[in-house]
Amino acid sequence: MRIDELLAAGPTRSFEFFPPKSDEESAVLAASLEDIQPLQPSFVSVTYRGGRESRQRTYDLVNQIERDGYVTAMAHVICVGHTRAEMRDLLKNYSDAGVQNIMALGGDRPDDVFGAASEFDYAIDLVELTREMGDFSIGVAAHPNGHPRSADLRSDRRFLAEKLTIADFAVTQFFFESSEWTHLVEELAELGATKPVLPGIMPVTTISGIDRMRAMGGAVPDSLVQRLVQANERGGAPAVRTEGIRAAITLCQELIEASAPGLHFYTLNRSTATSEIYHALFE
């Protein structure tokens, strides 16, 4: 199904995976995909790590999920570093394979000769091309605290609102306070952009994960860091994991109460923490 249609029908529950690069990663992913089936996801999305090989792995995994027939899949497509001809071919291949949902992303410009040949500068260039190429349901990325390349938050919101005039919905970078999502949605509405913005959820389950998430652009609040540090002092790694999941459950409950159009879980290809959060919320 098309994701815009799923969102129109009511709140969605979705999960994000990345294509495996080894037999070990493939085994972990296969187990995770099997584990989430009982959760009845509305859709799953498959990321694109960058480069020609990763682009093919994303394509293969999305097609595999669609062929299995138990859940709708959305393919991430990154345009910066590619030519328009390459993107046209890729989008046509997805259309021919019956894939209806595309996450249109800009990505980082590679520091190599291949990247120098890029015919795209921003995600909106890919959004426009995707709309031209077929009847896709198109998602775009949203950053509650602003994209790293944006000059300021005001311009970031304008650019996102512009993308949403063409795209069908947005999915946010992970965040940890519900006010970050509500402020984003309110500011977009002031600009006339009212299409669904799915909040992205990623629990912090380790102390080392705090720095990793900050490096990925997630603003981990000091209050949450303090909770996790105190949990570590009380009971070590298991207590940190429990506290991180508890914080994520509270965040999701607040988002549901704020009428979020769904919840999008970043799984890192592992299902256990996501499953615990899901069961706490919906069972």
Expressed in angstroms, the distance from the first to the final Cα of the chain is 25
Domain limits of the chain?
Answer: 3-282
C-alpha distances out from residue 76 to 105, 108, 122, 139, 185, Å: 7, 14, 15, 9, 23
Q: Locate tokens 């495996």: which residue? A: 20
- State yes or no: is 254 an active-site residue: no
Joined tokens for residue 157: 């919101």
Strands 169-174 and 72-78, by their bridges, are unpaired
* pLDDT per residue as tens digits for the range 96-108: 999 999 999 998 6
- CATH for the 3-282 domain, from 3.20.20.220, 3.40.630.30, 3.40.50.1100, 1.25.40.10: 3.20.20.220
Helix (H, G, I), strand (E, B) or coil at 12: strand
Amino acid type, 8:
A
pTM for the predicted model, two decimal places: 0.93
pLDDT of residue 259: 97
* pLDDT per residue as tens digits for the range 38-60: 899 999 999 986 667 777 889 99
Catalytic residue among 5, 16, 243, 276: 16
Name the nearest CA neighbour of 134 among 78, 193, 83, 91: 91
**pLDDT of residue 136 exceeding 70:** yes
**pLDDT of residue 21 exceeding 90:** no
**pLDDT of residue 150 exceeding 80:** yes
HSE-CB at 24 with a 13 A cutoff on CA atoms is 0
